[in-house]
Structure 1
Amino acid sequence: MKMDQSNGYEYHAETFIRCRSKGTNGVGAASVRRWGKVLPPKATVLDLGCGTGDPVSRALQDEGLALYGIDASPSMIQLFRQNFPNAPAACEAAEDSSFFNRQFDAIIAWGLLFLLPEKKQEIVIRKMANALYTEGKLLFTAPSQKMKWEDAITALESISLGAQRYKELLEASGLLLIGEFEDEGGNHYYHSVRPALAQA
Protein backbone atom coordinates (compact mmCIF):
# COMPACT_ATOMS: atom_id res chain seq x y z
CA MET A 1 0.00 0.00 0.00
CA LYS A 2 1.30 3.43 -0.95
CA MET A 3 2.25 5.66 1.97
CA ASP A 4 0.13 8.75 2.56
CA GLN A 5 2.24 11.72 1.44
CA SER A 6 -0.32 14.26 2.65
CA ASN A 7 0.59 14.06 6.36
CA GLY A 8 -2.87 12.73 7.19
CA TYR A 9 -4.78 15.37 5.25
CA GLU A 10 -6.15 13.04 2.57
CA TYR A 11 -7.91 10.94 5.21
CA HIS A 12 -9.28 14.11 6.78
CA ALA A 13 -9.82 16.04 3.53
CA GLU A 14 -13.58 16.38 3.99
CA THR A 15 -13.12 17.88 7.46
CA PHE A 16 -10.45 20.30 6.24
CA ILE A 17 -12.53 21.42 3.27
CA ARG A 18 -15.53 22.02 5.53
CA CYS A 19 -13.48 23.95 8.12
CA ARG A 20 -11.32 26.10 5.83
CA SER A 21 -13.01 29.35 4.84
CA LYS A 22 -14.11 29.76 1.26
CA GLY A 23 -13.64 32.73 -1.04
CA THR A 24 -11.27 35.58 -0.25
CA ASN A 25 -12.27 36.37 3.33
CA GLY A 26 -10.74 33.40 5.15
CA VAL A 27 -8.02 33.72 7.78
CA GLY A 28 -4.79 34.88 6.16
CA ALA A 29 -6.38 36.02 2.89
CA ALA A 30 -5.88 39.73 3.60
CA SER A 31 -2.20 39.22 4.48
CA VAL A 32 -1.61 37.11 1.38
CA ARG A 33 -3.38 39.70 -0.78
CA ARG A 34 -1.12 42.48 0.56
CA TRP A 35 1.92 40.31 -0.23
CA GLY A 36 0.59 39.63 -3.71
CA LYS A 37 0.27 43.34 -4.41
CA VAL A 38 4.06 43.84 -4.14
CA LEU A 39 4.81 41.14 -6.72
CA PRO A 40 5.33 42.02 -10.39
CA PRO A 41 2.22 41.98 -12.61
CA LYS A 42 1.36 38.43 -13.75
CA ALA A 43 4.17 37.01 -11.61
CA THR A 44 4.37 33.22 -11.43
CA VAL A 45 3.49 32.04 -7.92
CA LEU A 46 3.76 28.49 -6.60
CA ASP A 47 1.29 27.69 -3.82
CA LEU A 48 2.94 24.84 -1.95
CA GLY A 49 0.39 22.81 -0.01
CA CYS A 50 -2.37 24.66 -1.86
CA GLY A 51 -5.26 22.52 -0.65
CA THR A 52 -8.42 23.52 -2.53
CA GLY A 53 -6.98 26.98 -3.18
CA ASP A 54 -9.38 28.78 -0.85
CA PRO A 55 -8.63 31.35 0.37
CA VAL A 56 -4.89 31.72 -0.36
CA SER A 57 -4.71 30.91 -4.08
CA ARG A 58 -7.97 32.80 -4.60
CA ALA A 59 -6.47 35.95 -3.07
CA LEU A 60 -3.41 35.66 -5.31
CA GLN A 61 -5.49 35.04 -8.43
CA ASP A 62 -7.50 38.16 -7.64
CA GLU A 63 -4.23 40.10 -7.83
CA GLY A 64 -3.72 38.89 -11.41
CA LEU A 65 -0.89 36.48 -10.58
CA ALA A 66 -0.15 33.25 -12.50
CA LEU A 67 -0.84 30.36 -10.13
CA TYR A 68 0.74 26.93 -9.79
CA GLY A 69 -0.43 24.50 -7.12
CA ILE A 70 1.01 21.49 -5.32
CA ASP A 71 -0.78 19.35 -2.76
CA ALA A 72 -0.24 15.75 -1.71
CA SER A 73 -3.95 15.14 -1.07
CA PRO A 74 -5.69 13.80 -4.22
CA SER A 75 -9.08 15.02 -2.97
CA MET A 76 -7.85 18.55 -2.41
CA ILE A 77 -5.85 18.90 -5.61
CA GLN A 78 -8.92 17.71 -7.53
CA LEU A 79 -10.91 20.60 -6.04
CA PHE A 80 -8.02 22.99 -6.69
CA ARG A 81 -8.13 22.02 -10.37
CA GLN A 82 -11.88 22.63 -10.45
CA ASN A 83 -11.49 26.00 -8.74
CA PHE A 84 -8.52 27.08 -10.89
CA PRO A 85 -8.80 25.24 -14.23
CA ASN A 86 -6.06 27.33 -15.85
CA ALA A 87 -3.51 26.79 -13.08
CA PRO A 88 -0.98 23.96 -13.51
CA ALA A 89 -1.32 21.63 -10.53
CA ALA A 90 0.41 18.51 -9.25
CA CYS A 91 -0.53 15.92 -6.66
CA GLU A 92 2.87 15.49 -5.04
CA ALA A 93 4.59 15.66 -1.68
CA ALA A 94 6.24 19.07 -1.30
CA GLU A 95 9.71 17.62 -0.80
CA ASP A 96 9.46 15.54 -4.01
CA SER A 97 7.69 17.97 -6.34
CA SER A 98 8.67 18.10 -10.00
CA PHE A 99 7.71 21.79 -9.99
CA PHE A 100 11.02 22.49 -8.29
CA ASN A 101 12.68 21.74 -11.63
CA ARG A 102 11.64 25.22 -12.80
CA GLN A 103 11.71 28.70 -11.28
CA PHE A 104 9.08 31.10 -10.01
CA ASP A 105 8.76 34.77 -9.18
CA ALA A 106 7.32 33.85 -5.79
CA ILE A 107 6.47 30.86 -3.62
CA ILE A 108 4.02 30.65 -0.74
CA ALA A 109 3.67 27.82 1.80
CA TRP A 110 0.74 28.61 4.07
CA GLY A 111 0.17 26.17 6.93
CA LEU A 112 2.46 23.51 5.47
CA LEU A 113 6.05 23.50 6.73
CA PHE A 114 5.33 22.65 10.35
CA LEU A 115 3.37 19.56 9.28
CA LEU A 116 6.66 18.07 8.03
CA PRO A 117 9.45 16.44 10.06
CA GLU A 118 12.43 18.72 10.71
CA LYS A 119 14.65 17.20 8.01
CA LYS A 120 11.91 17.52 5.39
CA GLN A 121 11.35 21.15 6.39
CA GLU A 122 15.03 21.81 5.75
CA ILE A 123 14.82 20.10 2.34
CA VAL A 124 11.71 22.04 1.32
CA ILE A 125 13.19 25.40 2.35
CA ARG A 126 16.30 24.67 0.29
CA LYS A 127 14.23 23.58 -2.72
CA MET A 128 11.97 26.62 -2.49
CA ALA A 129 15.00 28.90 -2.41
CA ASN A 130 16.54 27.20 -5.45
CA ALA A 131 13.26 27.54 -7.36
CA LEU A 132 13.14 31.33 -7.04
CA TYR A 133 14.35 33.75 -9.65
CA THR A 134 16.69 36.52 -8.54
CA GLU A 135 14.63 38.97 -6.46
CA GLY A 136 12.01 36.23 -6.05
CA LYS A 137 9.94 36.26 -2.86
CA LEU A 138 9.14 33.47 -0.41
CA LEU A 139 6.36 33.64 2.18
CA PHE A 140 5.63 30.85 4.64
CA THR A 141 3.90 30.40 7.98
CA ALA A 142 5.16 28.71 11.14
CA PRO A 143 5.09 29.70 14.82
CA SER A 144 7.94 31.95 15.92
CA GLN A 145 8.48 29.76 18.99
CA LYS A 146 10.29 26.44 18.83
CA MET A 147 7.54 23.99 19.74
CA LYS A 148 5.68 20.74 19.06
CA TRP A 149 1.93 20.25 19.17
CA GLU A 150 -0.87 18.03 17.89
CA ASP A 151 -2.41 19.12 14.59
CA ALA A 152 -6.06 20.03 15.16
CA ILE A 153 -7.32 18.07 12.15
CA THR A 154 -5.07 15.03 11.85
CA ALA A 155 -3.91 14.72 15.49
CA LEU A 156 -0.39 14.14 14.11
CA GLU A 157 2.65 15.92 15.52
CA SER A 158 3.45 19.37 14.16
CA ILE A 159 6.89 20.92 14.63
CA SER A 160 7.96 24.55 14.55
CA LEU A 161 11.73 24.97 14.38
CA GLY A 162 11.44 28.52 15.77
CA ALA A 163 12.26 31.90 14.24
CA GLN A 164 16.01 31.69 14.81
CA ARG A 165 16.33 28.30 13.10
CA TYR A 166 14.14 29.34 10.18
CA LYS A 167 16.28 32.45 9.72
CA GLU A 168 19.42 30.29 9.71
CA LEU A 169 17.91 27.90 7.13
CA LEU A 170 16.83 30.76 4.89
CA GLU A 171 20.28 32.36 5.03
CA ALA A 172 21.97 29.00 4.36
CA SER A 173 19.76 28.66 1.28
CA GLY A 174 20.77 32.07 -0.06
CA LEU A 175 17.65 33.95 1.04
CA LEU A 176 17.39 37.14 3.06
CA LEU A 177 14.65 37.40 5.70
CA ILE A 178 13.08 40.83 5.15
CA GLY A 179 10.10 40.69 7.48
CA GLU A 180 7.96 38.81 9.99
CA PHE A 181 4.34 39.52 10.89
CA GLU A 182 1.15 37.90 12.14
CA ASP A 183 -2.37 37.80 10.73
CA GLU A 184 -5.77 38.01 12.42
CA GLY A 185 -5.65 34.29 13.22
CA GLY A 186 -2.27 34.50 14.98
CA ASN A 187 -0.41 32.80 12.11
CA HIS A 188 3.25 33.90 12.01
CA TYR A 189 4.72 34.76 8.58
CA TYR A 190 8.31 34.77 7.35
CA HIS A 191 8.91 36.93 4.27
CA SER A 192 12.21 36.50 2.45
CA VAL A 193 13.81 37.39 -0.87
CA ARG A 194 16.49 35.90 -3.08
CA PRO A 195 18.91 38.84 -3.48
CA ALA A 196 20.84 39.32 -6.70
CA LEU A 197 24.19 38.41 -5.13
CA ALA A 198 22.87 35.03 -3.95
CA GLN A 199 22.59 33.64 -7.47
CA ALA A 200 25.66 32.88 -9.52
Structure 2
Amino acid sequence: MSVRVSLVAAARSSTLLTERFDDDRPLDHTGWHEVQLAAHALVPLAAAELRYCSPTPRSRATGDALGFAPMAQPALRDCDMGRWRGLTLADVAAREPASVDAWLADPRAAPHGGEPLLAFISRIGGWLDTRPACDGFIVAVAEPAVVRAALVYALRAPPSAYWNVDVRPLSTITLTGLAGSWSLSLEASTR
Protein backbone atom coordinates (compact mmCIF):
# COMPACT_ATOMS: atom_id res chain seq x y z
CA MET A 1 0.00 0.00 0.00
CA SER A 2 1.47 3.36 -0.98
CA VAL A 3 1.22 6.71 0.71
CA ARG A 4 0.61 10.16 -0.76
CA VAL A 5 2.53 13.03 0.83
CA SER A 6 1.79 16.63 -0.13
CA LEU A 7 4.47 19.10 0.92
CA VAL A 8 3.52 22.77 1.12
CA ALA A 9 6.26 25.40 1.28
CA ALA A 10 5.68 27.79 4.16
CA ALA A 11 4.63 31.35 3.39
CA ARG A 12 7.32 33.98 3.48
CA SER A 13 8.82 35.53 6.55
CA SER A 14 11.10 37.89 4.61
CA THR A 15 11.91 39.04 1.12
CA LEU A 16 14.23 36.81 -0.92
CA LEU A 17 17.18 39.16 -0.45
CA THR A 18 16.78 39.25 3.33
CA GLU A 19 16.28 35.47 3.74
CA ARG A 20 18.49 34.13 6.47
CA PHE A 21 19.93 30.70 7.10
CA ASP A 22 17.91 28.72 9.65
CA ASP A 23 15.41 31.58 9.72
CA ASP A 24 12.86 31.17 12.48
CA ARG A 25 11.01 34.46 12.11
CA PRO A 26 7.20 34.40 11.94
CA LEU A 27 5.21 35.23 8.80
CA ASP A 28 5.56 38.79 7.61
CA HIS A 29 2.69 40.91 6.24
CA THR A 30 3.30 39.69 2.69
CA GLY A 31 3.29 36.08 3.88
CA TRP A 32 -0.10 36.48 5.57
CA HIS A 33 -1.49 38.12 2.45
CA GLU A 34 -0.17 35.29 0.24
CA VAL A 35 -1.76 32.67 2.53
CA GLN A 36 -5.13 34.42 2.14
CA LEU A 37 -4.78 34.45 -1.65
CA ALA A 38 -3.75 30.78 -1.88
CA ALA A 39 -6.10 29.42 0.78
CA HIS A 40 -8.88 28.39 -1.62
CA ALA A 41 -6.48 26.05 -3.43
CA LEU A 42 -4.71 24.70 -0.34
CA VAL A 43 -7.47 24.36 2.26
CA PRO A 44 -8.67 21.02 0.78
CA LEU A 45 -5.35 19.51 1.92
CA ALA A 46 -6.67 19.83 5.49
CA ALA A 47 -8.61 16.62 4.79
CA ALA A 48 -5.32 14.68 5.09
CA GLU A 49 -5.30 11.93 7.71
CA LEU A 50 -1.99 13.17 9.09
CA ARG A 51 -0.97 16.84 9.12
CA TYR A 52 2.54 17.98 10.03
CA CYS A 53 4.69 21.09 9.98
CA SER A 54 8.31 21.88 10.57
CA PRO A 55 8.96 23.41 14.01
CA THR A 56 9.42 26.97 12.71
CA PRO A 57 6.94 29.74 13.55
CA ARG A 58 6.26 30.46 9.86
CA SER A 59 5.49 26.81 9.05
CA ARG A 60 3.19 26.49 12.06
CA ALA A 61 1.43 29.77 11.22
CA THR A 62 1.03 28.75 7.56
CA GLY A 63 -0.48 25.40 8.55
CA ASP A 64 -2.78 26.96 11.12
CA ALA A 65 -3.95 29.68 8.72
CA LEU A 66 -4.86 26.97 6.20
CA GLY A 67 -6.85 25.05 8.82
CA PHE A 68 -4.44 22.11 8.95
CA ALA A 69 -3.87 22.20 12.75
CA PRO A 70 -0.50 20.51 12.07
CA MET A 71 1.69 18.67 14.56
CA ALA A 72 5.25 19.96 14.72
CA GLN A 73 7.64 17.36 13.36
CA PRO A 74 11.29 17.94 14.42
CA ALA A 75 12.57 15.81 11.52
CA LEU A 76 11.17 18.45 9.12
CA ARG A 77 13.39 21.22 10.48
CA ASP A 78 15.51 23.22 8.07
CA CYS A 79 19.14 22.38 7.44
CA ASP A 80 21.34 23.13 10.47
CA MET A 81 23.58 25.92 9.24
CA GLY A 82 25.82 26.09 12.30
CA ARG A 83 27.54 29.42 12.78
CA TRP A 84 25.85 30.81 9.64
CA ARG A 85 22.47 30.67 11.37
CA GLY A 86 20.70 34.02 11.15
CA LEU A 87 22.98 35.38 8.41
CA THR A 88 22.11 36.02 4.77
CA LEU A 89 24.04 34.36 1.95
CA ALA A 90 25.47 37.79 1.08
CA ASP A 91 26.72 38.22 4.68
CA VAL A 92 28.48 34.87 4.61
CA ALA A 93 29.86 35.31 1.08
CA ALA A 94 31.43 38.61 2.13
CA ARG A 95 33.04 37.08 5.25
CA GLU A 96 33.87 33.56 4.05
CA PRO A 97 33.83 33.36 0.24
CA ALA A 98 35.96 30.19 0.09
CA SER A 99 33.68 28.47 2.62
CA VAL A 100 30.59 29.35 0.59
CA ASP A 101 32.25 28.00 -2.56
CA ALA A 102 33.14 24.74 -0.77
CA TRP A 103 29.61 24.40 0.59
CA LEU A 104 28.03 24.93 -2.83
CA ALA A 105 30.45 22.56 -4.58
CA ASP A 106 30.58 19.61 -2.18
CA PRO A 107 27.37 18.15 -0.67
CA ARG A 108 29.47 16.55 2.11
CA ALA A 109 31.01 19.87 3.16
CA ALA A 110 29.87 21.67 6.28
CA PRO A 111 32.19 24.69 6.57
CA HIS A 112 29.57 26.34 8.78
CA GLY A 113 29.90 23.59 11.39
CA GLY A 114 26.33 22.41 10.92
CA GLU A 115 24.69 19.78 8.75
CA PRO A 116 26.12 18.90 5.32
CA LEU A 117 23.65 19.10 2.42
CA LEU A 118 23.89 15.34 1.86
CA ALA A 119 22.97 14.63 5.50
CA PHE A 120 20.06 17.10 5.27
CA ILE A 121 18.67 15.43 2.14
CA SER A 122 19.09 12.01 3.79
CA ARG A 123 17.31 13.18 6.96
CA ILE A 124 14.32 14.44 4.98
CA GLY A 125 14.33 11.23 2.93
CA GLY A 126 14.36 9.22 6.14
CA TRP A 127 11.28 11.09 7.30
CA LEU A 128 9.52 10.34 4.01
CA ASP A 129 10.48 6.67 4.16
CA THR A 130 9.08 6.19 7.65
CA ARG A 131 5.60 7.57 6.90
CA PRO A 132 2.88 5.01 7.52
CA ALA A 133 1.33 3.52 4.40
CA CYS A 134 -2.34 4.43 4.24
CA ASP A 135 -5.08 4.70 1.66
CA GLY A 136 -5.39 8.41 2.33
CA PHE A 137 -2.74 11.05 2.41
CA ILE A 138 -0.42 13.16 4.51
CA VAL A 139 0.23 16.89 4.28
CA ALA A 140 3.23 18.72 5.71
CA VAL A 141 4.08 22.43 5.75
CA ALA A 142 7.82 23.03 5.79
CA GLU A 143 10.55 25.42 4.79
CA PRO A 144 11.23 25.63 1.05
CA ALA A 145 14.63 23.99 1.65
CA VAL A 146 12.88 20.94 3.13
CA VAL A 147 10.60 20.67 0.09
CA ARG A 148 13.65 20.86 -2.22
CA ALA A 149 15.46 18.18 -0.22
CA ALA A 150 12.40 15.90 -0.35
CA LEU A 151 12.14 16.32 -4.11
CA VAL A 152 15.84 15.57 -4.67
CA TYR A 153 15.57 12.49 -2.46
CA ALA A 154 12.36 11.19 -4.00
CA LEU A 155 13.66 11.53 -7.55
CA ARG A 156 17.03 10.04 -6.61
CA ALA A 157 18.65 13.06 -8.20
CA PRO A 158 22.27 13.91 -7.44
CA PRO A 159 22.64 16.27 -4.46
CA SER A 160 23.83 19.02 -6.81
CA ALA A 161 20.29 19.11 -8.26
CA TYR A 162 19.21 20.70 -4.96
CA TRP A 163 20.60 24.03 -6.17
CA ASN A 164 18.47 23.86 -9.34
CA VAL A 165 15.09 23.48 -7.65
CA ASP A 166 13.19 26.70 -7.02
CA VAL A 167 10.50 26.32 -4.35
CA ARG A 168 8.35 29.41 -3.96
CA PRO A 169 6.33 30.15 -0.82
CA LEU A 170 3.05 28.18 -0.75
CA SER A 171 4.03 25.96 -3.68
CA THR A 172 3.07 22.32 -3.31
CA ILE A 173 4.51 19.03 -4.47
CA THR A 174 2.93 15.63 -4.03
CA LEU A 175 4.94 12.45 -3.73
CA THR A 176 3.41 9.00 -3.89
CA GLY A 177 5.01 5.68 -3.14
CA LEU A 178 6.67 3.59 -0.48
CA ALA A 179 9.94 3.77 1.41
CA GLY A 180 12.73 4.21 -1.10
CA SER A 181 10.41 4.28 -4.11
CA TRP A 182 8.77 7.64 -4.70
CA SER A 183 7.11 9.31 -7.68
CA LEU A 184 6.39 12.97 -8.23
CA SER A 185 2.72 13.62 -8.90
CA LEU A 186 1.96 16.88 -10.68
CA GLU A 187 -1.58 18.12 -10.34
CA ALA A 188 -3.38 20.87 -12.18
CA SER A 189 -3.32 24.15 -10.30
CA THR A 190 -6.57 25.85 -9.40
CA ARG A 191 -4.87 29.04 -8.29
Instruction: Considering fraction of residues, name the structure with more strand.
Output: 1
**Greater RCO, 1 or 2 (C-alpha within 8 Å, sep 6+):** 2
TM-score (norm. length: structure 2): 0.39
Instruction: Considering fraction of residues, name the structure with more helix.
Output: 2
TM-score (norm. length: structure 1): 0.37
Larger-gyration structure (1/2): 2
